[in-house]
């Protein structure tokens, strides 16, 4: 399996588990910097490679009144400060082909949202930046389909590709994770990320905010690591009750350390030859 290099972090090919984490969306600069610093302290303690994530724009909100983020320009300025102050790689998502080149000036990983994973112009533009690309599997796709979509990125000469599982639609207003998909997507030859946060959402337009079942974040994270995922994607917030986006599916920051303590122990059991 080709490894993906994000700064000094190696992902895939049985490298140690990586954490991709941060609030769903950029709210204030102070909150983002404080949250990133707290996550880094925890990941440093457990020697977990850490990529900070937060969205500059949330373009797929249910309602026009929902908070959409600070915008790409302001959001990237804040992410640049996280990168400079803490020395950690940063990730954000793009929603149009023109966003990719702009985002690539700052971020270390460009993320393609699940709803946009089949948009050829967006995926190809992201690939042309040469940055590592985190391609999220749409809720409507089988894991085997992701090989074709990843091929669009490879057509640009960019093989730095990660595939993310974030649940599949099951009936109405429910998502489930078939753990076999983590194995099947790895067999396509790419590192696999397990997005626990979005997998426990219960998407519906009938509430002001997206519903979720955060009590399942820990058991699903444990299961995903046991199945061999290369990274966990966990959205977290220091004050989830007052978060401006996806508050019902984010992990309270205070619960991140006990979760990481457990999943790193599982990762060590699965990769004893890596940890020594």
Provide the domain count of the chain. Answer: 1
Tens digits of residue pLDDT in 161-196: 999 999 998 888 788 999 999 999 999 999 999 999
Please state the rounded mean pLDDT for residues 243-272.
94
> For residue 90, what are its two tokens?
């940063």
The per-residue pLDDT of the chain, averaged, comes to 93
Tens digits of residue pLDDT in 193-237: 999 999 998 776 455 556 788 999 999 999 999 999 999 999 999
d(CA 30, CA 20): 20
Cα 22–Cα 197–Cα 34 angle in degrees, nearest 5: 15
Q: Which residue has the tokens 């700064």?
A: 7
Which structural domain range is residue 137 located in?
4-275
Whole-model pTM: value is 0.95
In this predicted structure, the answer to whether residue 246 has a pLDDT above a threshold of 90 is no
Pairing of strands 50-53, 251-252: unpaired
Tens digits of residue pLDDT in 52-105: 999 999 887 667 777 889 999 999 999 999 999 999 999 999 999 999 999 999
Helix axes 256-270, 217-226, angle to 10 degrees: 20
d(CA 183, CA 186): 5
In this predicted structure, the answer to whether residue 269 has a pLDDT above a threshold of 70 is yes
Q: What is the CATH number of the domain that holds 175?
A: 3.20.20.70
């Amino acid at each position: 399996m080709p490894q993906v290099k994000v700064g000094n972090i190696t992902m895939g090919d049985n490298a140690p588990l990586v954490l991709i984490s941060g609030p769903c969306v950029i709210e204030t600069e102070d909150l983002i910097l404080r949250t990133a610093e707290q996550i880094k302290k925890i990941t440093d303690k457990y020697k977990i490679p850490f990529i900070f994530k937060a969205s500059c724009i949330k373009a797929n909100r249910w309602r026009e009144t929902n908070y959409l983020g600070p915008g790409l320009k302001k959001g990237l300025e804040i992410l640049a400060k996280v990168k400079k102050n803490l020395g950690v790689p940063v990730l954000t998502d793009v929603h149009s082909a023109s966003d990719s080149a702009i985002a690539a000036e700052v971020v270390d990983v460009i993320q393609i949202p699940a709803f946009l994973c089949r948009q050829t112009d967006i995926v190809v533009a992201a690939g042309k930046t040469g940055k590592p690309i985190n391609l999220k599997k749409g809720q409507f796709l089988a894991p085997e389909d992701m090989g074709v979509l990843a091929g669009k990125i490879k057509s640009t000469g960019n093989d730095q590709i990660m595939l993310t599982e974030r649940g599949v639609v099951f009936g109405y207003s429910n998502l489930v994770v078939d753990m076999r998909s983590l194995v099947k997507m790895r067999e396509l030859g790419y590192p696999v990320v397990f997005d626990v946060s979005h997998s426990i959402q219960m998407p519906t337009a009938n509430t002001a905010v997206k519903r979720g079942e955060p009590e399942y974040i820990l058991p699903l994270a444990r299961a995903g690591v046991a199945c061999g995922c290369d990274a966990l994607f966990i959205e977290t917030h220091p004050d989830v009750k007052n978060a401006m986006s996806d508050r019902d599916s984010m992990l309270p920051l205070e619960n991140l350390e006990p979760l990481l303590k457990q999943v790193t122990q599982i990762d060590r059991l699965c990769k004893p030859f890596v940890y020594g």
